[in-house]
Amino acid sequence: MKCSTTSKRGLLIFVLLSTFIGLRAYDVEVDGICYDVVKLARMAVVTHRGSGVVPEPNSYAGEVVVPEHITYNGRTYVVRSVSQNAFADCEELVSVKLPSTLTAVSSCAFLGCPKLKEVSVPQSLLAVGSCAFTGCTSLKSMILPRKAECVDTLTFYCCASLTSLILPHRIQTICEGALEHIPSMTNLYCYASVPPVAEQGSFTLRDQQKCTLHVPKASIPLYLEALGWKDFHQIVALKDEEYISQNYQKGDINDDGRVDAADLALLQRIIVSLPDDSSVHWAADVNADGKVNSIDFVKLRNQVAQ
């Protein structure tokens, strides 16, 4: 997945200019949360109380829980996304729990929320937009969803209290400024076996030199040579319990949450005709001997047959 084509400087300029733009208000407010609704798609989008891209100052505060569904004019709408600037500049916002129905968080969604400590992100999420958490100086940790393929431009820029971040195995790109100026970061967990492309300015060197990078064991030599990654203080192997804590399972090679015949077929393809895809190496190495071969196939076949 490619990063946003807009440059870091251009995005910052856009954020400043957006405060002068106003187009329309929200459609409905339910339990203190504002939404736009897409009637044909029966979809609701979390937004703010302002007009256009301009949020009303401090429109959300405290702990916010976004529901999976809302009712509007007698019809039910599924909450699918968080719009641009939806929670931006909410100075008293402390936490947000997002629903399992959510698929996208748009650009600048939580921009400049100084007291925001926690955002619960569902695994259904496909994308997090640029500048989404820029300037959230109290945010302490984040786990990106399993289907995310990039950390977009300025996503966590200047998140000064962020101490740990977990990147899933599908991550391919770290965009410009995405993890820049995060001085409190002490642990970065990257489950991608092939080092993601790190654009220039993805990290701040002095922050990297205080941070431990956790990566798949077989991939350590790759990270030690990769631009943007080799500068971390130390690079260590992910432990089995760290995979398990993130709901990775031995044998779940296609990462669909189940261990079944589909995984067995995929393992056979890997062994017979495909190079060892290190992005699934941990799951495919069923007997945990560091190799993916016919022994793993036999063990997985027996497991599936039970």
Q: Give the start-to-end residue ranges of the domains of the chain.
A: 8-245, 261-305
The rounded percent of the chain whose pLDDT value lies above 90 is 76
Architecture of the domain whose range is 8-245 = Alpha-Beta Horseshoe (3.80)
Task: Measure Cα distances from 212 to 32, 99, 229, 230 in Å.
Answer: 41, 31, 11, 11
- Cβ neighbours of residue 226 closer than 8 Å, sequence gap 6 or more: 195, 198
Burial 264-276 (b: 16+ CB within 10 A, else e): bebbeebbeeeeb
- The pLDDT-based confidence of 306 (bands split at 50, 70, 90) is confident
Residue 18 has pLDDT above 50, yes or no: no
| pLDDT score, position 56 | 76
| pLDDT score, position 53 | 67
- The pLDDT-based confidence of 20 (bands split at 50, 70, 90) is very low
Residue 55 has pLDDT above 80, yes or no: no
- The pLDDT-based confidence of 23 (bands split at 50, 70, 90) is very low
State the average pLDDT over residues 280-301: 90
CA neighbor of 77 nearest in space, from 106, 104, 37, 46: 37
Q: Which of 18-22, 48-52, 263-267, 287-291 shows the lowest mean pLDDT across its residues?
A: 18-22
Tell me the pLDDT tens digit for each residue of 165-219.
999 999 999 999 999 999 999 999 999 989 999 999 999 999 999 999 999 998 9
Contact 209, 231 (CB under 8 A): yes
Residue 278 has pLDDT above 60, yes or no: no
- The pLDDT-based confidence of 272 (bands split at 50, 70, 90) is confident
Residue 11 has pLDDT above 70, yes or no: no
| pLDDT score, position 218 | 86
| pLDDT score, position 279 | 59
State the average pLDDT over residues 265-293: 82
Residue 47 has pLDDT above 70, yes or no: yes
Residue 68 DSSP symbol:
S
